[in-house]
Structure formats: structure tokens, C-alpha cells
Structure 1
């Protein structure tokens, strides 16, 4: 029983982490609409 529960908790944790990564990607895509690519390239070079 506890083994099954831990597997379920592990699946939930992985789903949450995956959702956080997707949210981060969405944020980057959202902000990149407002920031020119030149500014992004300069910040990467520094």
C-alpha cells in the first residue's frame, strides 16, 4: 500500500516539475515578444 502511494506521489511530483518547466518556457516566449532579439544576444554575450 505504501509502495503504491509513493509511486503515485512520485508521478505527481514529476507532473508538477514538468508543468513548471512548461510555464518557464511560456514565460520566456512571452517576454521574447517584447524584447528585441538584439538585446537578448547582447545579454548572452556579456
Structure 2
């Protein structure tokens, strides 16, 4: 899931509300953790 264009937490909330059945497509738990880490770093 590419979240680089999302700049605010409000945009995150809007994305999650508009796509309740979203499936990120991670292949493993490690891949999920890497995405969470990168997303947290993105928002500092």
C-alpha cells in the first residue's frame, strides 16, 4: 500500500473510512511491520 501522497492524519482517517474492506496485500508479518515503521516515520 502506497501512502506517500497522504500528508495528514485527517487524510488517513478519510482513507480508512472510505475503504472499509481494504486489504493491504502484505505477504508476511515482517512486511507489515516494515510498512508500519515507514508510515510512522513518514508522519514523524
More helix by share: 1
Is the pair's TM-score, using the shorter chain for normalization, greater than 0.5?
Answer: no
Higher RCO, Cα 8 Å, sep 6+: 2
TM-score normalised to structure 2 length: 0.38
TM-score scaled by length of structure 1: 0.37
Larger radius of gyration: 1
